[in-house]
Amino acid sequence: MSHDEFAMEFIDMTKTFGEHTVLNHLNFKIHRGKITTILGFSGAGKSTLLKHILGLLFPTHGKAIVLGEDLSHLRELELREFRKKFGMLFQYAALFDSMTTFENIAFPLREFTKMSEAEIKQKVEDLMESVGLAEHATYRLPSELSGGMRKRVGLARALALEPEIMLYDEPTTGLDPITTKMVNDLIKSTSERNKAKKMTSVIISHDIDATLKISDYVAFLEKGQVVEHLPTEEFRKSQNPIIRRFLEL
């Protein structure tokens, strides 16, 4: 498989927890450099799939090949190294609550690079600007930030190491309409800005409107399988009854 065209590929992948099959012979490829949204009802296995991308879980059967690597062949330390190619924005941002905005964004730089304090400062300022964070937020703690600002900090932190793949877990669930729009614009602009580097974005969501606005591809997960995977325009017109039901919800 050329990992030029596809950032990841799942081949006949099954995941069972005890007796419970969550992913069921799933076959699915994600295009490199594009935004792909994985839709599905709650409990469909979206988060489980996301964990397979990161090598936090491994298939019971079949393969998960990410950026050309079969993750089940990597050893623990290689896997940790591999995860540096990812950035992830968590649903509630998952900022370290004992650290200021600056420290949160600088965290991966301090852990994984040999940058000097001056370089780190410059980089954090650049990142803050790119996600639209005002300077006055620099030395605030997460508890002193609004939900929208926290998402921006989380995104800046995820982008710090210039990831090849950005993952978004339910980025707009539970947000008000204005913040939702802001987060969606942010996902779009982040992807645009990193187009040259072919950064791949994978969004997990059940927010249909946003999905149709910002994604290049949409996949629909149902009963552990991808039942539809189409460019957004075609997905909108899909006649698959499950998807019509979801779209008309």
Partner 1 sequence: MTMSDKTRTLKSVTEKNLGILGHNVLNTINGLGKFTNYLTSVCYWAFKPPYRWHLFTQQMYFIANKSLFIICLVSVFSGAVFAYQTYLGFQGLGFDSFIGPVVAISLAKELAPVLSGLVIAGRCGAAMAANIGTMKVTEQVDALEVMGINSHQYLAVPRIAAAIISMPILSSIFLLVGNVGSWLIGVKVLRIDEMTYLQKIPEFMGMDDIFEGLIKATVFGFLIAVIGTFHGFEVKGGAEGVGRGTNLAVVWGMVIVLIVDFFLTSFLAVIL
Ligand X SMILES: Nc1ncnc2c1ncn2[C@@H]1O[C@H](COP(=O)(O)OP(=O)(O)O)[C@@H](O)[C@H]1O
Residue keyed to tokens 């614009």: 185
Residue 47 binding Mg ion, by CB under 5 A: yes
State CA 192 to chain mean position distance.
15
Please give the residues from 76 up to 95 whose contact with partner 1 meets the rule CB under 8 A. Answer: 79-84, 86, 88, 90-92, 94-95
- Under 8 Å between Cβ of 136 and 146: no
Helix, strand, or coil (residue 86): strand
Nearest-angstrom CA–CA distance, 50 and 62: 16
Residue 111 binding partner 1, by CB under 8 A: yes
CB of 69 to partner 1, least distance (A): 14
Nearer to ligand X, 17 or 139 (CB): 17
Nearer to ligand X, 64 or 159 (CB): 64
Residue 47 binding ligand X, by CB under 6 A: yes
- Strand pairing partners for 26? 13
Q: Which of 65, 132, 61, 55 is nearest to 101 (CA)?
A: 132
Nearest-angstrom CA–CA distance, 82 and 70: 11
Assigned token pair, 194: 């990193």
Nearer to partner 1, 1 or 56 (CB): 56
Please give the residues from 15 up to 74 whose contact with partner 1 meets the rule CB under 8 A. Answer: 54, 56
CB of 171 to Mg ion, least distance (A): 12
**Contact residues for partner 1, defined by CB under 8 A:** 54, 56, 79-84, 86, 88, 90-92, 94-97, 107-108, 111-112
Applying CB under 6 A, the residues found at the interface with ligand X are 17, 20, 22, 40, 42-48
